Structure 1
């Protein structure tokens, strides 16, 4: 009888241990200098996601004014970080690489890096780039090196030859985009707010007077018209626009109740009016 009871206790204990081992772990709030977390909690449950933004003079280490991270079994998918807004991320050089930064993963304002092209490729501009207030100036490109067969008359596979951009006439018009940097050999474009660039940021002039492939600016926002789609429980009025991935809260008629709007893949998701703590604990749909 005693052995039977002992076995029953051991089985329960072992089952509890297995359950504890299989349960995902929560995450401690990450430390973030120079920024703030949304929502601000001490403990985040497994699978929950937080957003973070940075104070004036700082920015996340991505090409956006905010970023997100997710709790996965006790660890964050990446540690939220705010960097100097004038620092540069490592440049993306197709078919090439740059010198590592002595400061770690970032390059300080004014840093000059040398670009080394992969085997079979060569520089078409300069071999260096300079970090200037968070952006790279005169970023080189690595193009396939010319060979004897490339230069044969009538050979359609010859490497393109770039010349000064003034030889191609007026700048190409990119709907919802504009030229933000011009050098002797290239134009750099950026899209307007709420638009995402598809294609190359840099445009160059071919020796035959035509432009290299142009980028396009694709819509990356959601539009919510509260005068048309308004719930009688929401105080908001008029039209608001949200950037792709943006999360915004709008006040409901009851104190400490609000609705949360999320813009994802060009479609908005609007929750019900829920209490503050229901949102914090992800109990509002």
Structure 2
């Protein structure tokens, strides 16, 4: 026989052997269970069978608690009839992995059926990266045991500046050991008083924050005095306590909120008040004058009041204050508008009200005109104008044609 013919023959045998003979499946072999009925006369394609597993075993394709089913297909039984075995824990395996069974195991059925969950716990002194790994599942008689590793101990706990431990210090500590710190009188403990050794490392340390003392020299150098806490001059401020100051007479600060500060580990960030500069004469306002007499120099906080002549409009704040060498922005005296008969006649208009040849109108006020008889304007709203710094934009009326 040729080599190619031999290869074809072998492949045919393999394919034929994998298929059910004569479009039928072989009688299934089932361990740890029994078939219903125990011998099948018809095992043709699409035939379904049922089987029951022994106590403690679970059917691969469950129909009910103890029963399974399978179907004859072109490739054989689907799924293959099989009874999945129970699990039992082994002390040797648990010791090798540093684990014990958890409390839930006390209520677990014995034996442990396929698919049941088993909860373990690490033995004292051992740990695991993720506690969820301690819950595993029985898989056809096999338990995938989790592994806990021995946790490292710690050396002596770190020293805290100005602090001490409540317990005596020793050279080594087991994982899980707890040390407690305390601070001297007037010091404030910041952080967790208790720290724990966790796998070779101590938790973050607390800190003993120092108290503060008010200093007359520091206050004098910064131009301040004690405020609400004036009576604490000779007392101790604890870390975190707040204290309020005030500026001495003749001194000032940009923001009064800065006068309230906090004791920070023995340090008081004193606010600084400075002596404000005086001002020269107040600014001159065109057409305006000051109510008070003008002098060469003014102290910080001095106030000057401005006024404008008759018909002039004062725009801005009438009072200005000297603040650390600078005056506030002064007001302005806005010129009035003068409405005269010549300008009115040239534009064929007249005032809505009768008056003298000259009318004075304050800056910002409105003036209303009307057209002379026989004259008109496209929009009567144009006959109302506003006085702006002495200027009037006169409207113009034009002659109307006869109908």
TM-score, scaled relative to structure 1: 0.30
**Greater strand fraction, Structure 1 or Structure 2:** 1
Whichever of the two has the greater Rg, that structure is 2
> Under a length normalisation based on structure 2, what TM-score does the superposition of the two structures give?
0.23
Specify which structure has the bigger relative contact order, considering alpha-carbon pairs within 8 angstroms and separated by 6 or more residues: 1
